[in-house]
Amino acid sequence: MGDTRGAVDGPGGTGTATAAQRGPTPEVSTAGRSGRPPGITVRDVAFGYPDRPVLRGVDLRVEPGELTALIGMNGCGKSTLLRVIAGLLRPERGSVQLGGEDLAGMSRREAARRVALLHQSAPPVPGMTVRQLVRQGRWAARGPLGMLRGGDDAAVTRALADAGVTGWAERPVDALSGGERQRVRLALALARDTRILLLDEPTTYLDLHHQLEVLGTVVRLREERDLTVVMVLHDLGHAARFAERIVALREGRVVADGAPREVVTPRLLADVLDVVGRVSVDPVGGWPVCHPDHPLNH
């Protein structure tokens, strides 16, 4: 497999102003709202589960305020990498920094005040309402004794509204459809009110209408809340359209990294996704459009 990394040396060229294009701004080192959001620096990270190595030396730098899509085949380590960045898994080697602060020196709560992760979690507690679940997102913001703070209700209300689920607030989560639950998970992550948002397959279970709606919401919230966002997407077309930058993993390594127009090529389809296909440019939007033909047979 060829290494397509370095096709460009940074984000840009998607028609949206990138963090680099917006110019240098100071990173903040706290979860506070002033200044630019923290960037993410992953250096030579290795991680494995007891029976298998997964991440094999990942290097990645996400600029403050950047919207990055992480792509790759099933099992290549995307979710594992997000969990490492969220501080849920400790790397065996290498380091992760959030806004220049080393994650290794942070408690779970300190990490959770800086970074929120939407992931495909366990089934909800029977009868728990959407609002009750989303309130759980406030745990890290609370004091050591779990005391509710003044901003909790406002953060929950805002998260419900931003994810478009206010109308379901009093409904039991276990009575919602898969797609509805996925939007509640987005609200749960937003309730953390962090400046770094990690989204693991945020469009899973959603119909096309709601996929576009959620991705549009992520783009809007990135601007409104001034966030740094990394999202795992299986749809390369969505990644090419909505992200400023695409990072591709293969067998636990970064093998491509750059602006969609630069890295989304037939070679990327083959090298990263084992697919033979073509790539054209959307005549209206200008983003790359993939035309997958058939799986690549090795």
Chain residues in the site for ligand ATP (CB under 6 A): 49, 52, 54, 72, 74-80
Nearer to ligand ATP, 65 or 87 (CB): 87
Distance in angstroms (rounded) separating the CA atoms of residues 83 and 91: 10
d(CA 248, CA 265): 12
Q: Which is nearer to ligand ATP, 14 or 80 (CB)?
A: 80
Report the nearest approach of ligand ATP to the CB of residue 218 (Å): 18
CB of 30 to ligand ATP, least distance (A): 29
Smallest gap from Cβ 59 to ligand ATP, in A, equals 17
**C-beta of 160 vs 273, nearer to ligand ATP:** 273
Q: Which is nearer to ligand ATP, 65 or 72 (CB)?
A: 72
In 173-283, where does DSSP find H-type helix? 178-191, 208-224, 236-242, 260-263, 266-273
Residue with tokens 């083959």, as numbered in its chain: 270
Of 85 and 112, nearer to ligand ATP (C-beta) is 85
* Cα torsion 214, 219, 223, 225: sign: positive
| Minimum distance from residue 273 beta carbon to ligand ATP (Å) | 11
Contact 37, 286 (CB under 8 A): no
Crossing angle between the packed helical segments 178-191 and 152-162, to the nearest 10 degrees: 140
Q: What is the C-alpha to C-alpha distance for residues 293 and 2, in angstroms, rounded to an integer?
A: 20
Q: Cβ of residue 74: shortest distance to ligand ATP, in angstroms?
A: 3
Nearer to ligand ATP, 79 or 97 (CB): 79
Smallest separation, CB 79 to ligand ATP (Å): 3
Taking 3-state DSSP, the helix, strand and coil percentages for the chain, each rounded to the nearest 5, stand at: 35, 25, 40
Angle at 181 between CA 73 and CA 232, to 5 degrees: 25
Q: How far is the CB of 77 from ligand ATP (least distance, A)?
A: 4
Nearer to ligand ATP, 18 or 80 (CB): 80
**CA dist., res. 236 & res. 242, Å (int):** 10
Cβ-contact 89, 55 below 8 angstroms = no
